[in-house]
Amino acid sequence: MKISETMATIFNAMSEGINIIDVEAKIVFCNKAYCEFLNMDFSKLKGQLLRSVRPGARLPEVLRTGKPILYAPRQEADDIYFVNMYPICVGGQIAGGLSVVTFIQQVYQFQSVLEEIKQHSKQILKHISKASNARYTFDDIVAESPLSKQTISLAQKAAATEATIFLQGESGTGKELYAQAIHNASARSSIIFLPLNCANFNANTLESELFGYMEGAFTGAKKGGKIGLFEAASGGTLFLDEVSEISLPLQTKLLRALQERLVRPLGGIEEKAVDVRLIAACNADIESYVQDGRFRADLYYRLNNFPIRVPPLRERRDDIDRLVAHVLDDMSRKMKKSISISNEALYHLQLYGWPGNVRELRNIIEFLSYLTDDGVIGEDILPEALKQPGEEKTSTLSQRVKQFERSEINKLLRINGSNLEGKRKTACQLGISLANLYSKIGRQ
């Protein structure tokens, strides 16, 4: 058995002791670490029977049995070590044996590193277990109106990039829904999605949440420290909602993290590289914040790399029918009975201003589902606020007729299906031609 020069170079670079014997149990090779362990030159070891040098050696036993011996502890004088021994087979025949000696100081060093990795992994898993999974995709976003379809198209283009995305829209419009959909359509979809509402934390707590802290960084700091969300989300997506509420000093640190892709934990000295795709969102007038000096202009421009405006519900009324149907389906499953809504009640919902947007709509439909006795949400049980005449009810007769047509068409398409056969059936039920139906759909 011969050891090539390349293989010898590789073995000599190792800190573990390497010893190789042939089928006759004669020493073929010892690396530098093994020779230093024995305090002998390789020239004096080569060709000797292993047990003439080390009487208690068990490697010849491996030659006899053909079975490895693992994690064998040994102690000689002050030296404590572990040995793994393996048979070397060539062409199905045992041609020699290999022993790998791991010295106790290396075990301690490895244990220390392993413990550090273990603690780090626990922190990451803790963050992952607390995180909301990115469950939603673009298929989950209701988009009947042209404006909604345009918004989804823009978000899909954003998902294909690595750009920082800034979602702006009123409360309840579904900004996190868009954030999750963007993440799931991106190249980072297999990695974690971590959301954080910045308005839920004071400045100091938010800094430790984002960047983590070292042990002893402040009174009450956990033993071993804590990793921040930037580090925990590395490789994935970090979603920061209500980003407008971050304090000015913390805005400076956030800007550096975005520009340099480096974070420094509280109480730390070294910076850590992170690879995070950031999606930010807010419902405030961020530009007025910038003008008033409450938000850094340079951070705003950095976040606004790919701006997306999520429109309020009052600007996409064509979505209301499907949104209502979606919530009613959920409530029917939840309550284990069929829940529907009358055309008159739906008409009021279509005219209401929805200041709370989709969130308000869902809450009202859920409330009315519990309130109805016969499973049909009628006009009689609607909250008075939804039946009050307002600017939306000053629409012309023509507009009201179109609204009613849209409601009826969408209701039948939900029942019959939106494929060609479903549209033909819908046109027949309405007593109009298929071409006329397509014309009316196109105007929606």
pLDDT digits (tens, 9 = 90+) for 272-323: 899 999 999 999 999 999 999 999 999 999 999 999 999 999 999 999 999 9
Instruction: For residue 345, give every residue at least 6 positions away whose Cβ sits within 8 Å of its Cβ, in sequence order, or none.
Output: 377, 378, 379, 381, 382
Give the integer Cα–Cα distance in Å for 371 and 383: 11
Q: Domain 131-311 has what CATH class?
A: alpha beta
Distance of CA 336 to the CA centre of its chain: 33
What residue ranges in 91-224 does DSSP mark as E strands? Answer: 93-103, 165-168, 193-197, 212-213
Considering only CA atoms, which of 122, 355, 328 is closest in space to residue 224? 122
pLDDT at 123 (0 to 100): 57
Ranges in the chain annotated CATH 3.40.50.300: 131-311
Residue range 125-147, pLDDT digits in tens: 555 544 446 889 999 999 989 99
Ranges in the chain annotated CATH 1.10.8.60: 314-442
Q: Domain 314-442 has what CATH class?
A: mainly alpha
Q: Domain 5-106 has what CATH class?
A: alpha beta
Give the residue-averaged pLDDT of 241-254.
94
Residue 165 has pLDDT above 80, yes or no: yes
Give the integer Cα–Cα distance in Å for 139 and 156: 11
Ranges in the chain annotated CATH 3.30.450.20: 5-106
Give the residue-averaged pLDDT of 85-93.
89
Across the chain, what does the average pLDDT equal? 86
Give the integer Cα–Cα distance in Å for 275 and 234: 5
This prediction has a pTM of: 0.62
Two tokens at 45? 């070891």
Give the C-alpha distances (Å, rounded to integers) separating 279 from 63, 164, 193, 376. Answer: 61, 6, 10, 40
Two tokens at 430? 């309405």
pLDDT at 373 (0 to 100): 87
Give the integer Cα–Cα distance in Å for 381 and 375: 12
